[in-house]
Amino acid sequence: MIGVQELRKGVTCELDGSLYRVLSYDHYKPGRGGAIIRTKLRNLRTGATINKNFNSGDRVQDVRLDHETVQYLYSEGDLHHFMNVETYEQPALSAEVLGDVVNYLKEGVTVELELYEGEPVSVEVPITVDLQVVEAPPGFAGDTATGATKDVVTETGLRVTVPLFINEGDVVRIDTRTGEYLTRA
């Protein structure tokens, strides 16, 4: 058990028999009374997000997850298939459980699979990924005083705002924590 004041973004805990990952955390202290901890939690089994407030001093069950290195193979409908690089087992996760991670998965990429009591619950992707641009409108500079941008679509379907000089076929580096363009790869 850990105190709710120890919750931070990325921490996994158990509430009411379900596994949750903390997406955001805010410590709020009103003028009177005790502090309130406001959290946004994602259910690791269903992918649903909830907002939950805790009173200062509340406790939650801390959860430790096992990690395995897996390689992304392919998607089939709603399921995304991975292969353990050591045992060659092939677990599959649904798009709801993966959430936004689906936008950064392409064939052959190596990621960390998180397991709870042998059950795969989520995937941890690298901090940056390189994706090819498949759809990019032409960029016209015009009269701009600051850096102009445009929206492009990558090979995984992710929409990203990039500078005007990025064209169709270019490979761009994306930050998986924010979903923003970093540089041309």
Architecture of the CATH domain 2-62: Roll (2.30)
Positions of CATH 2.40.50.140 in the chain:
66-124, 128-184
Query: pLDDT tens, 50-106?
Result: 999 988 888 888 888 888 999 999 988 889 999 998 998 898 888 888 878 888 888
Architecture of the CATH domain 66-124: Beta Barrel (2.40)
The class level of CATH for 128-184 reads mainly beta
CB 57 within 8 Å of CB 41: no
The pTM of the full predicted model, rounded to 2 decimals, is 0.73
Positions of CATH 2.30.30.30 in the chain:
2-62
- Is residue 143 over pLDDT 70? no
